């Protein structure tokens, strides 16, 4: 009985950690000047972008949204917060994008610096 209670306590703690885990995905985007596509947001879905930051640089990275299938003009909806230890910290904004939408990310940092984005896609 003593061993059962120890194993039971460990199992409960282990299951609690997986029950409350969130399903945000993270990506590192290289500063190559190219737009990198995120997964398409379909009509019955939405995407939450919680964190979009970049290592120091002068030009901020951008998140652009295009409405499929006919719209070819992307709309910039979010710019990256620049992480520069010598400057005052910038606010890290989050955004919700409703589908249908094609989402792309461009990193504006200088060569050798990267951008980081965290997002979650969910259904209505």
Please check whether residue 107 lies inside any domain of the structure: yes
Calculate the CA 102 to chain-centre distance: 14
pLDDT at residue 104, as a whole number: 92
Identify the domain containing residue 55 by its residue range: 24-123
Distance between CA atoms of 90 and 105, rounded to whole angstroms? 19
Q: Any idea what the CATH number is for the domain that residue 59 is in?
A: 2.60.120.340
Tens of pLDDT, residue by residue over 78-94, are 998 988 888 888 888 89
Please check whether residue 9 lies inside any domain of the structure: no
Please check whether residue 8 lies inside any domain of the structure: no
Q: Which residues contact 67 (CB under 8 A, 6 or more apart)?
A: 100, 101, 102
Nearest to 27 by CA among 96, 100, 107: 107
Nearest to 80 by CA among 55, 112, 97, 48: 55
Please check whether residue 4 lies inside any domain of the structure: no
Tens of pLDDT, residue by residue over 12-43, are 555 555 555 468 899 888 888 788 888 889 98
The per-residue b/e assignment along 101-120, b for 16 or more CB within 10 angstroms, e otherwise, is bbbebbbbbeeebbbbbbbe
pLDDT at residue 102, as a whole number: 92
Please check whether residue 109 lies inside any domain of the structure: yes
Total of domains in the chain? 1
Please check whether residue 110 lies inside any domain of the structure: yes
Please check whether residue 111 lies inside any domain of the structure: yes
Task: End-to-end CA distance of the chain: give it in Å, rounded.
Answer: 46
* Total-model pTM: 0.74
Please check whether residue 1 lies inside any domain of the structure: no
């Amino acid at each position: 009985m003593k061993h059962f209670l120890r194993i039971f306590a460990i199992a409960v703690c282990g299951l609690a950690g997986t029950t409350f885990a969130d399903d945000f995905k993270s990506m590192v985007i290289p500063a190559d000047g190219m737009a990198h596509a995120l997964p398409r947001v379909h009509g019955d879905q939405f995407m939450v972008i919680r964190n979009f930051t970049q290592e120091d640089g002068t030009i901020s990275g951008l998140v652009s949204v295009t409405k499929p299938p006919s719209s070819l003009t992307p709309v910039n909806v979010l710019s990256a917060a620049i992480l520069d230890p010598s400057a005052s910290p910038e606010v890290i904004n989050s955004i919700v994008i409703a589908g249908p939408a094609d989402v792309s990310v461009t990193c504006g940092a200088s060569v050798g610096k990267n951008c980081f984005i965290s997002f979650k896609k969910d259904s209505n």
